[in-house]
């Protein structure tokens, strides 16, 4: 692809990319707490606007966090093996033990996320991207495994000012272009403008939050809850208004002319205080008070909205409400059932993306066997809420009653990492080897003693 063709392709892809940016920006704003404002009447006072700014309950990030914190890739196993496949070294070198969470959160938030795999030394380079920074275009977005093109768009600050950097990926190379912020004069960089990867596929892997067979576009966890978030903010604003203006008892007085100041303006006849007493000289003066507004209705309405968000998102209510009183293990498991099913589905979808990424990293490192291994699978850490004692008891019964080898169940213990399992296996193998060696030594010693013993002499 030459300079002119690359620039024309970049402008065409940028134009296609612009169509989805308003939706993604709206989602990003709601995740950052920049919600749509409640109704503000004309001439509203500063106090009114002050309450609006504080009537925001940022619950959407929690919906994403609860799911993301239950997803952790802990290994990559070939079929029939307990050891990680060779691409796992590329995973470790790219610090994906930690960086995987950014991919999961982006896919859960926006509905899609991307990972780019490029050849490098000493190992291929794996780079995660949010859909706000990279967009992949497919001939068939439903069934195609690899995109035709992908475009990365970002802004950079240089000594000469701000510039726009655009990268295009295809099945043979990566093209880096730069120009003015509006993209009007994009051109290939003279140094390193074209990097040939020669992988034969566009080196971009897409992670999706849901499997869309209609091709209408994937949806994340945030977008369906925006209306409920606005409703929650409105209820919170009404609650704050009631607290500010009507949640305390107001006193009234009749039958008394208010005093005036030197200019003839009426002034407040009494100043409320704890040790104060209202006194009037006129016998017709009457005192009274208005009852305070009951806030229970507002609180119940807000709780109902949060429970509605919990139902839509399949996140247990105790996560969003902070209420967790006397829950038994069975009740906790029942409350988490919807969340566990959701996590299982996301692990299935994201797992395919990570397997595709690790296969591609094998190809980028020259490991043809790893690239052709379509049976290898990622291993997810078990994060379900279960009692450790009950889990160990169940695993013990699998060993004693069904004959399952104990070492095959070590990774099923909650909180145990793949590193822990490998260390345990090494220690067990060393223990078995020492046991066999001691047995051989004891056998030889017993045979030597028998050979050197004097024969029995009959009496």
Q: Is residue 253 part of a domain?
A: no
Q: What is the pLDDT along the chain (459 residues), one digit of tens a residue?
A: 777 888 888 888 988 888 899 999 999 999 999 998 888 887 778 888 888 888 888 999 999 999 999 999 989 999 878 788 999 999 999 999 999 999 999 999 999 999 999 999 899 999 999 999 999 999 998 899 999 999 999 888 878 788 889 999 999 999 998 888 877 788 888 777 889 999 999 999 999 999 888 877 889 999 999 999 999 999 999 888 888 777 667 777 887 777 788 887 877 777 766 667 777 777 778 878 777 778 888 889 999 999 999 999 988 888 888 766 566 666 666 777 888 899 999 999 999 999 999 999 999 999 999 999 999 999 998 777 666 676 777 778 888 888 888 877 777 776 677 777 777 777 777 766 656 656 666 766 676 655 555 555 554
Q: Would you state the pLDDT for residue 459?
A: 44
Determine, yes or no, domain membership for 45.
yes
Edge-to-edge strand ranges of the sheet holding 112-118: 125-129, 112-118, 204-208
Is the backbone of residue 7 left (phi > 0), alpha (psi -120 to 50) or beta? alpha
Q: Would 120 be classed as within a structural domain?
A: yes
Tell me if 111 is assigned to some domain.
Answer: yes
Name the helix (H) or strand (E) containing 149: strand 149-158
* Domain boundary, last residue among 175, 203, 221: 221
Give the pLDDT confidence score for residue 38 in this predicted structure: 85
Is the residue at 95 inside a domain? yes
- Report angle CA 320, 323, 328 to the nearest 5 degrees: 115
What is the distance between the alpha carbons of residues 14 and 167, in angstroms, rounded to a whole number? 11
Give residue 225's pLDDT: 94
Boundary (domain end) residue, out of 158, 188, 221: 221
Whole-number pLDDT of residue 325: 59
Place of tokens 């004692």: 389
Backbone angles phi, psi at 259, to 5 degrees: -70, 160
Is 191 within a domain? yes
How far from 209 is each of 346, 389, 420, CA to CA, in Å? 7, 34, 30
Q: 196, 221, 246: which is the final residue of a domain?
A: 221
With CA atoms as reference, report the closest residue to 386 among 416, 407, 408: 416
Specify if 172 maps to a domain.
yes
CA atoms within 13 A on the CB side of 299: 6
Cβ neighbours around 170 below 10 Å, total:
19
| CA–CA separation, 94 and 92 (whole Å) | 5
Q: Residue 107's domain spans which residues?
A: 3-221
Cα(420)–Cα(426) distance, rounded to whole angstroms? 10
Distance CA 249, CA 262 (A): 31
Q: Report yes or no on 323 lying in a domain.
A: no
For every residue of 379-409, DSSP letters joined together read: EE-------HHHHHHHHHHHHHHH---GGGG
- SS3 assignment, position 295: coil
Q: What is the pLDDT of residue 286?
A: 84
CA 173 to chain CA mean position, Å: 31
Categorise residue 366: left if φ over 0, alpha if ψ from -120 to 50, beta otherwise: left
Domain count, the chain: 2
């Amino acid at each position: 692809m030459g300079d002119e063709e690359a620039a024309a392709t970049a402008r065409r892809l940028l134009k296609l990319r612009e169509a989805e940016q308003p939706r993604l920006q709206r989602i990003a704003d709601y995740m950052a707490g920049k919600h749509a404002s409640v109704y503000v009447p004309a001439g509203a006072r500063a106090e009114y606007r002050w309450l609006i700014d504080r009537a925001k309950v940022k619950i959407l990030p929690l919906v994403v966090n609860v799911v993301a914190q239950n997803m952790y890739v802990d290994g990559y196993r070939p079929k029939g093996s307990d050891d990680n496949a060779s691409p796992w070294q590329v995973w470790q070198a790219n610090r994906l033990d930690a960086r995987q969470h950014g991919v999961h959160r982006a896919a859960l938030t926006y509905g899609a996320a991307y990972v780019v795999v490029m050849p490098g030394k000493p190992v291929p380079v794996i780079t995660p991207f949010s859909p706000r920074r990279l967009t992949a275009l497919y001939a068939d977005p439903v069934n195609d495994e690899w995109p035709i093109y992908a475009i990365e768009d970002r802004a950079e600050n240089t000594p000469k000012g701000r510039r726009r950097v655009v990268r295009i990926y295809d099945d043979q190379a990566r093209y880096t272009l730069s120009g003015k912020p509006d993209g009007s004069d994009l051109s290939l960089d003279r140094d390193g403008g074209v990097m040939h990867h020669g992988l034969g596929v566009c080196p971009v892997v897409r992670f999706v939050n849901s499997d869309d067979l209609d091709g209408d576009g994937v949806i994340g966890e945030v977008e369906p809850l925006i209306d409920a978030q606005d409703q929650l903010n409105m209820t919170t604003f009404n609650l704050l208004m009631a607290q500010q203006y009507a949640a305390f008892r107001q006193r009234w007085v009749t039958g008394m002319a208010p005093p005036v100041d030197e200019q003839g303006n009426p002034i407040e006849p009494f100043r409320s205080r704890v040790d104060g007493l209202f006194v009037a000289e006129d016998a017709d003066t009457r005192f009274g008070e208005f009852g305070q507004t009951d806030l229970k209705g507002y609180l119940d309405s807000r709780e109902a909205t949060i429970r509605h968000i919990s139902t839509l998102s399949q996140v247990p209510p105790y996560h969003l409400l902070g209420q967790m009183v006397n829950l038994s293990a069975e009740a906790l498991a029942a409350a988490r059932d919807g969340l566990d099913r959701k996590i299982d589905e996301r692990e299935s979808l994201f797992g395919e993306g990570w397997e595709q990424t690790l296969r591609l990293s094998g190809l980028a490192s020259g490991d043809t066997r790893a690239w052709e291994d379509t049976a290898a699978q990622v291993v997810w850490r078990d994060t379900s809420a279960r009692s450790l004692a009950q889990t160990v008891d169940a695993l013990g019964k699998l060993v004693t009653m069904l004959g399952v080898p104990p070492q095959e169940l070590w990774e099923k213990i909650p909180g145990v990492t793949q590193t822990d399992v490998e260390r345990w296996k090494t220690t067990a193998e060393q223990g078995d080897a020492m046991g066999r060696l001691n047995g051989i030594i004891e056998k030889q010693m017993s045979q030597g003693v028998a050979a050197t013993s004097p024969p029995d002499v009959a009496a």
